[in-house]
Amino acid sequence: MSVYEYVALDNRGHEHKGFVDAPGVSVARQQLREEGVYPVEIHQAREKKTSVLSGLLDVGLLQKVSAKEIAVFTRQLSTLLGAGIPLVPSFNVLLTQTKNPSLQKILAQIRADLNEGKSLTAAMENYPRVFPSFYINMVKAGEASGAINLVLERLADFSEGQQALMSKIRSALAYPLIMLLVGSLVIFLLMTFVVPKITGIFTDMKQTLPMITIILIAVSHFLKSFWWLIFLLIVVAVVAFKYLTAGTDAGRLFWDSFRLKAPVWGPVNLKIAIARFSRTLATLLQSGVPLLAAMEIVRNVVNNLVIGDAIARAAKDVEEGQSLAETLSARGLFPPMVTEMIAVGEQSGSLEKMLNRIAVSYETEVQSDVMVMTSLLEPLMILAMGLMVGFIVISILLPLFEMNQLVR
């Protein structure tokens, strides 16, 4: 059965767009007429390629499906299944509510696969860029246990929690970043447009200038003449940084290590990684995913090679019979409080509960640390911009004072 994308008109002339599953174009047209709409354009939706190419072609670089949209889809699907609505009719409802065309095509193709008898896991596996391995494994565990709606609910809770945490961090950093950009732009405009006009007077008078004024004139002249070179160097630096930290394993390992050891921000990065590790592992274990499989998934979720390698080595030790707490403690990255709570969870049979408590504790600490850092960052930025403006003002006023002394 194929998926057809259509544009149709109803009896009132209103346009309708959507997808329909049918073995052929004629059958698709007949189905639409039976629904009371008349197709004016109908064509087969793009066929799936391989599992990797599907994510690239169906979603594309310009038609991304955001994590927020996936979280909303997961919550809605969980609600529909929990209300007793079968899987395929649930997708029919979701297709009418989804606004993103890329996500609509994906849901339509998944619905077609479900109609052909495939499992939800098998249908979603064709879109790895939309549904990551963490998501797929949880759905697989939910289907195996017969509690797919509960698993989807946990997935929605997890996704919404991660979105909320990152949103709070971005919101806290947004104001300082805006201040930095606006302040830098103001300083640049002063140095390239205002300062040259004022210092031009000193140059025309051929007066001996203070060293601070000479420095100001030199910097102003450089910025005005070579601003394009500075912009080019910034672009090259950003591209080189992206390539070294994401394009090579050695570069990424160095950058991930630096992120954990950097002053001030390093401890916050470690707490974010521990919170993500704990929350993800707890969610997977609660959904019935085995510990070793869950650790393999979590290794890729923490988004840090150093911690990911530590988790991979810990998984090997667990496979050989060691406890999770002992092997994580031996790695030296996880604080004693974390490993002790995990040890208590293993001994009491409540590992998932302890991991959730760790996640809540560290997520709270991250939010608190970010708020403290931003509250300190704002006055420091104001002070730095004040010093720059003060440097400009003093550099201009000193020659004026000297000229005034000569006139007297």
Entry pTM: 0.69
pLDDT at 354: 92
CATH 1.20.81.30 placement within the chain: 179-408
pLDDT at 408: 55
Sign of CA dihedral 364, 366, 367, 372: positive
Per-residue pLDDT at 57 exceeds 70: no
In sequence order, the 6+-apart residues with CB closer than 8 A to the CB of 97 are 76
- CA 290/CA 191 separation, integer angstroms: 62
In sequence order, the 6+-apart residues with CB closer than 8 A to the CB of 228 are none
Topology of the domain covering 179-408 = Receptor-associated Protein (1.20.81)
Residue type, 106: I
At 18, is the secondary structure helix, strand, or coil?
Answer: strand
Q: Round to the nearest angstrom and report the end-to-end CA distance of the chain.
A: 96
Show the 3-state SS of 25-53: HHHHHHHHHHCCCEEEEEEECCCCCCHHH
CATH 3.10.20 placement within the chain: 1-45
φ/ψ of residue 248, rounded to 5: -125, 145
The 8-class DSSP code of residue 82 comes to H
Per-residue pLDDT at 60 exceeds 50: no
**Dihedral through CA 396, CA 398, CA 403, CA 406, nearest 10?**
180
What burial class does residue 313 get, using C-beta atoms within 10 Å of its C-beta: 0-12 exposed, 13-18 middle, 19+ buried? middle
Instruction: Give the long-range contacts of residues 13-19, CB within 8 A, separation 24 or more.
Output: 18/95, 18/96, 18/104, 19/45, 19/95, 19/104, 19/105, 19/108, 19/111
CATH for 1-45, options being 3.10.20, 3.90.320, 3.40.630, 3.30.450: 3.10.20
- CB distance 104 to 17 below 8 Å: no
**Dihedral through CA 361, CA 365, CA 367, CA 371, nearest 10?**
160
For the record, the structure tokens of 229 come out as 């070179």
- CA 73/CA 107 separation, integer angstroms: 10
**pLDDT band, residue 341 (cuts 50/70/90):** very high
In sequence order, the 6+-apart residues with CB closer than 8 A to the CB of 12 are none
Beta-bridge partners for 20? 4
Candidate from 86-100, 134-148, 319-333 with smallest mean pLDDT: 134-148
Model confidence pLDDT, tens digit, residues 356-408 = 999 999 988 988 888 888 888 888 888 988 898 898 888 888 888 877 666 55
Model confidence pLDDT, tens digit, residues 226-246 = 888 988 999 999 998 888 877
Candidate from 32-46, 204-218, 328-342 with smallest mean pLDDT: 32-46
φ/ψ of residue 160, rounded to 5: -65, -35
Beta-bridge partners for 289? none
For the record, the structure tokens of 127 come out as 């879109």
Element (H, E) at 20: strand 15-22
The closest alpha carbon to 131, from 208, 200, 77, belongs to 77
Query: Which residues of 203-307 form beta strands (DSSP E)?
Result: none
